[in-house]
Amino acid sequence: SPQYVTEMLTGFLRSVGQPHDVTRIQKHTRDEVLWHNALAPWRRSPRWLLLRVALQTSLKKKDEDQGRSTHYKMFMVLLFTNVLDRAMRESISGELLFIITAKISR
Q: Is 34 helix (H, G, I), strand (E, B) or coil?
A: strand
First and final C-alpha spacing in the chain: 46
73 neighbors 56 (Cβ within 8 angstroms): no
37: left (phi over 0), alpha (psi -120 to 50) or beta: left
Q: Determine the pLDDT at residue 41.
A: 65
- Residues forming a β-bridge with 34: 42
pLDDT tens, per residue, the chain with 106 residues = 788 999 999 999 989 988 888 777 777 766 666 667 767 766 678 888 889 888 888 888 777 777 676 888 888 899 989 988 998 888 888 888 888 888 888 7
Domain boundaries, the chain: 2-105
- The identity of residue 85, as a single letter, is D
d(CA 52, CA 56): 6
pTM value is 0.58
